[in-house]
């Protein structure tokens, strides 16, 4: 591992051309913008549309993330898959391309018993040399993981190997339960677009993995939290919360639709192209509210 896994580590949105292939030039612009804002690294994960990319595209995304990042920060590759062999293939490629860590959700097409989950995550921990971020994205996709399961992973492999991104509801109490069950050893990341970042920060997280669409706001909020500046914290936080609340109403596709709309609005992406099919498109009234809230965030910054 060449980079420290902590701080603000945004999850990239995958820029797609009309034929849904990855637009490398736009991805370069997105990653450069992240580092210009001062992030500590970049990730691939659910809002990167990894579950909808082809096998080759998913490998390409990981390779491009590492290549474009070029040592400027930690690179975390998404490797969660429907079989252990698939996940291990993605993990091997992450190692070969110079990533600093891998992140995995459980398989999403079936509810697995705990022993099967253990076999899946332990295979990743033992057969890949990189640190493993164990992600529970069950608030919008996949299967919930118990606090006891997290603790067993940490006991077996240690805090330098196993990190956590727990997003099962209720998120805040679960963060505290994991912290307390591991005597503060668990290195925990916040997700969910930043809507619970203030609460999560005060429960002792070591970093956050938001989307890129509101990243300037998240960076300002993170710095205000580090400075214990409540006035600035809440001035920035409230419009972020309101925008993410609109995203949450339509699950993963709500995040994707609004986030890609904002990336186009910012001039980072030329189009809102998403992998098809998807369950929800941004309607005019939601768009108008997103625009109002985005203006408030820019004013707050």
Picking from 222, 287, 266, 242, the residue whose alpha carbon sits closest to that of residue 6 is: 222
209 has binding-site annotation:
yes
Token pair of 284, please? 């005019």
Token pair of 112, please? 């697995």
Q: Report the SS3 class of residue 190.
A: strand
Q: Report the SS3 class of residue 250.
A: coil
Q: In what order do the strands lie in the sheet with 101-104?
A: 41-43, 74-78, 101-104, 132-136, 162-166
Write down how long the chain is.
301
Look-up of token digits 């339960």: 177
Cβ 78 vs Cβ 44: under 8 Å: yes
Token pair of 282, please? 């941004």
- What's the rounded Cα separation, in Å, for the pair 66 and 146? 32
Q: Report the SS3 class of residue 235.
A: helix
Q: Report the SS3 class of residue 242.
A: helix
Picking from 208, 206, 234, the residue whose alpha carbon sits closest to that of residue 219 is: 208
Q: What are phi and psi of 49, to 5 degrees?
A: 65, 30
Q: Report the SS3 class of residue 33.
A: helix
What DSSP character marks residue 185? -
- What's the rounded Cα separation, in Å, for the pair 143 and 168? 9
State the binding site for pyruvate.
209
State the binding site.
209
């Amino acid at each position: 591992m060449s980079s420290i896994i902590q701080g603000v580590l945004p999850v990239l949105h995958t820029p797609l051309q009309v034929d849904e292939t990855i637009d490398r030039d736009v991805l370069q612009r997105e990653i450069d913008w992240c580092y210009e804002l001062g992030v500590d690294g970049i990730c691939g994960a659910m809002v990167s549309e990894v579950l909808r990319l082809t096998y080759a595209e998913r490998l390409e995304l990981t390779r491009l993330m590492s290549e474009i990042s070029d040592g400027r920060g930690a690179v975390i590759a998404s490797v969660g898959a429907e079989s252990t062999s698939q996940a291990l293939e993605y993990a091997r490629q992450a190692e070969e391309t110079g990533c600093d860590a891998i992140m995995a959700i459980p398989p999403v097409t079936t509810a697995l018993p705990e022993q099967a989950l253990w076999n899946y995550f332990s295979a990743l921990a033992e057969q890949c040399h990189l640190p493993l971020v164990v992600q529970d994205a069950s608030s919008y996709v996949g299967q919930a993981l118990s606090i006891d399961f997290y603790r067993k992973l940490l006991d077996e492999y240690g805090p330098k190997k196993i990190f956590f991104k727990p997003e099962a509801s209720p998120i805040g109490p679960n963060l505290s339960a994991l912290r307390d069950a591991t005597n503060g050893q668990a290195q925990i990341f916040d997700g969910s677009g930043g809507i619970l970042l203030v609460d999560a920060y005060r429960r002792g997280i070591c970093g956050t993995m938001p989307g890129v669409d509101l990243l300037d706001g998240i960076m300002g909020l993170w710095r205000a939290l580090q400075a214990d500046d409540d006035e600035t914290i809440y001035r920035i936080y409230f419009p972020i919360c309101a925008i993410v609340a609109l995203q949450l109403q339509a699950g993963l596709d709500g995040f994707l639709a609004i986030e890609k709309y904002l990336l186009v609005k910012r001039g980072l992406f030329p189009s809102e192209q998403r992998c098809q099919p998807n369950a929800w498109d941004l309607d005019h009234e939601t768009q108008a509210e997103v625009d109002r809230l985005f203006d408030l965030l820019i004013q707050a910054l």
